[in-house]
A and B are shown apart, each in its own frame.
Chain A
Amino acid sequence: LAKTTQPISMDSYEGQEVNITCSHNNIATNDYITWYQQFPSQGPRFIIQGYKTKVTNEVASLFIPADRKSSTLSLPRVSLSDTAVYYCLVGEGDSSYKLIFGSGTRLLVRP
């Protein structure tokens, strides 16, 4: 059973880089790692996805070590609007469609 572990909360200041690490020790060979962002009163929205090494898009980077037992979401130069809950997501092995969300990381960006 794939399971993710993330810090419950993190604080940062505007303009800083934020790195949120997620542990997924039992990740299956066919599983991808996906990060979602959720604002209050909204559904989660996709941020970034990767399988191995590094992925970068216009909003974030995702670093995945060779053993894939963890991943790190990197948000460059955060702003107040990045205050949200961030979820790391992997599949469930043979039932990889069953995307189980953990408790997420509550990021608070201060002025």
Chain B
Amino acid sequence: GAGVSQSPSNKVTEKGKDVELRCDPISGHTALYWYRQSLGQGLEFLIYFQGNSAPDKSGLPSDRFSAERTGGSVSTLTIQRTQQEDSAVYLCASSSYGGSGNTIYFGEGSWLTVV
């Protein structure tokens, strides 16, 4: 597609279950970001992928969170043993390269509700 695609758009899960959120970046973009946004709050950086380099995972809030990027394209964010505080919208973004001089394009987000 022309933009960043995320799935599912909405997910309701029970506390303790694992969830996977998927991101398809814009074709050709080597940089991929995951952010989290709680209701009414700003965006919280989670993880950054650039090409084949080791990802910057410094924003992941706990070891229940992990992410991978296969083939330098699609990325999956996995949350294990979900907790209610994990409820948020998870936003994926991509750019043609990393760096603040480059425009990043966001998907519409995956809305996660943990009940």
Q: Mark B75-115, 1 if CB is under 8 A from A, else 0.
A: 00000000000000001010000111101111111000000
In contact, A97 and B56 (Cβ under 8 angstroms): yes
Contact of B45 among A90, A99, A104 (CB under 8 A): A99
Query: What residues of B have a CB within 8 angstroms of the CB of A31 in the complex?
Result: 100-101
In contact, A96 and B100 (Cβ under 8 angstroms): yes
Contact of B100 among A43, A45, A91 (CB under 8 A): A91
Contact of A43 among B48, B59, B103, B107 (CB under 8 A): B107
A13 contacts partner chain B, Cβ-Cβ < 8 Å = no
Distance, CA A75 to CA B93, complexed state (A): 25
In contact, B104 and A95 (Cβ under 8 angstroms): no
Query: What residues of A have a CB within 8 angstroms of the CB of B73 in the complex?
Result: none
In contact, B98 and A44 (Cβ under 8 angstroms): no
In contact, A101 and B101 (Cβ under 8 angstroms): no
Query: What residues of A have a CB within 8 angstroms of the CB of B59 in the complex?
Result: 98
A34 contacts partner chain B, Cβ-Cβ < 8 Å = yes
In contact, A101 and B100 (Cβ under 8 angstroms): no
Question: A92: nearest residue on chain B (CB-CB)?
Answer: B100
A97 in contact with B100 given A43-B93, A104-B42 (CB within 8 Å)? yes
B12 contacts partner chain A, Cβ-Cβ < 8 Å = no
In contact, B35 and A98 (Cβ under 8 angstroms): no
Distance, CA A46 to CA B105, complexed state (A): 7
Chain B positions near chain A (C-beta within 8 angstroms): 4, 31, 33, 35, 41-45, 48, 50, 56, 58-59, 91, 93, 98-101, 103-109
Chain A positions near chain B (C-beta within 8 angstroms): 30-34, 41-46, 49, 51, 87, 89-91, 95-104
**Nearest 4 A-B pairs (CB), nearest first?**
A43-B106, A91-B100, A97-B98, A101-B43
**Besides the known contacts A30-B99, A51-B101, A90-B100, 15 further A-B residue pairs in the complex with CB atoms under 8 A apart:** A30-B100, A34-B100, A41-B109, A43-B93, A45-B106, A49-B103, A87-B42, A96-B101, A97-B50, A98-B48, A98-B58, A99-B33, A99-B45, A101-B44, A103-B42
